[in-house]
A = this chain, B = another copy of it.
Amino acid sequence: MTRPPPSTPPVATREISGLPTVGDGSGLSPDNRYYPEEIQLALRNRGLPLEALRYPVTPAGLHYLLVHFDIPAVETGRWQLTVGGQVARPLQLSLADIKARRAVTVPVTMECAGNGRARLSPRSLSQPWLCEAVSTAQWTGTPLRGVLEEAGIVEGAEEIVFTGEDWGVQGGEVQPYQRSLTVTEALRDDVLLVYAMNGEPLPAQHGYPLRLLVPGWYGMTSVKWLTAIEVSAEPFDGFQMVKSYRDSLDAEDPGLPISLIRPKSLVIPPGIPDFVTRVRILSPGPVTLQGRAWVGRADIATVEVSLDGGTLWRDAELEAPMHGPAWRGWTYRWEAKPGRYTLCVRATDTTGETQPFGQRWNYQGMGNNMVQRVEVMVVP
């Protein structure tokens, strides 16, 4: 029968032979097999579909999401933010109180500390991110500093503990999700209490009604469903500080805490995908490769592209930066000729740190910024 006239085919409508099959790796780690519990986590958390890197500001419904325990059902009427501990004037703030304060809106790139975990071998059994746990939103909120100054931090206080309304069990311990910051870090101008994402109230899954936002840090620090801020005279010894989010060698090694985002970059996979393997199919001719690069508190200095799996590298062109601690767009012109390619991209920041090509292994699979690999077939 006559097929309907669709939009122009991006690749001539035809049979493609020689496609990779599942299990041969397709640029992934072919020797890895994953547990049902990891699949279960991957299905409820969600990465940024890589083609959505096209949006400088990620639509809220596409923003990556890691929900540590469950998305809590926060009753707005009952909700309040408690500010207590080592302060002169304990506070209880409603959402209206917080919205009445000075508001700022800023684009911030957030990345999960476990991004890249599933590419490590051997790997920690947790959310099995490959590379897609990164996004950028326009966040609106009020500086935490103003609230802390109003409460009046008592001299000698050391840390600020942030508690979410999400409860669960980890390492056998019943706990609400809790993280701390040093007083110095918490008083930075850019640390916010945010109540809006891309101009709308926070979606339930992103922390409604209020979350912490710590630009430059991996996402675990930006506590969602924030309900209590406590100023403490001692370092906080909660599970998510001393047992989790550590760069360690084994289960016994305390290692070092994970904090700022390491330099990283991704390319939008060009052409069209094979459904199951996600290998890309492309017609010969000029192609503008596009992607984004980001780092915690430095700037991106260079982005390089390799078409041969990491042997030859060429500079990409950086786009103008966004007005905030957000990712940087880049482009690279490629004259694609028939053949098979492994696209790689690597970023270097202004401190000189470059993404590693191979894995820099650690026990919990934290902060893995090894370079992405995208398998491409250019078919005449």
**With A59-B204, A128-B39: A168-B275 Cβ-Cβ less than 8 Å:** yes
Which one, B61, B84, B126, contacts A61 given CB within 8 A? B61
Chain B residues lying within 8 Å of A174, measured Cβ to Cβ, are 9, 11-16, 272, 281
Binary B-proximity of A53-88 (CB < 8 A = 1, otherwise 0): 010000111100001111101000000001011000
Cβ B229 vs Cβ A1 within 8 A: no
A149 interfacial contact with B, CB 8 Å = no
Chain B residues lying within 8 Å of A167, measured Cβ to Cβ, are 9-11, 272
Which one, B28, B54, B67, B274, contacts A169 given CB within 8 A? B274
Cβ B6 vs Cβ A228 within 8 A: yes
Binary B-proximity of A126-154 (CB < 8 A = 1, otherwise 0): 10111010000000000000000000000
Cβ B44 vs Cβ A47 within 8 A: yes
**Complex alpha-carbon distance, A229 and B4, angstroms:** 7
Can you tell how many copies of this chain the complex includes?
A: 2
**Complex alpha-carbon distance, A237 and B6, angstroms:** 16
Question: Which interface class (under 10, 10 to 19, 20 to 34, 35 or more) fits A?
Answer: 35 or more
**Complex alpha-carbon distance, A178 and B17, angstroms:** 22
Footprint of B on A, CB under 8 Å? Answer: 1-7, 9-17, 19, 22-23, 25-26, 28-30, 32-44, 46-47, 49-52, 54, 59-62, 67-71, 73, 82, 84-85, 118, 125-126, 128-130, 132, 161, 163, 165, 167-170, 172-176, 178, 203-205, 227-230, 232-238, 272-278, 281
Which chain B residue lies CB-closest to A169? B274
**Complex alpha-carbon distance, A23 and B33, angstroms:** 12
Cβ A130 vs Cβ B13 within 8 A: no
Cβ B37 vs Cβ A39 within 8 A: no
The 28 listed contacts between A and B (C-beta, < 8 Å) are A1-B233, A3-B178, A4-B85, A4-B178, A5-B230, A9-B167, A9-B174, A23-B35, A26-B37, A28-B39, A30-B36, A34-B34, A34-B38, A36-B130, A39-B39, A39-B128, A43-B46, A43-B128, A44-B50, A51-B73, A52-B204, A52-B205, A68-B275, A70-B273, A168-B274, A168-B275, A169-B272, A169-B275
Which one, B15, B30, B73, B229, contacts A172 given CB within 8 A? B15
Which chain B residue lies CB-closest to A63? B61
Chain B residues lying within 8 Å of A163, measured Cβ to Cβ, are 4, 6
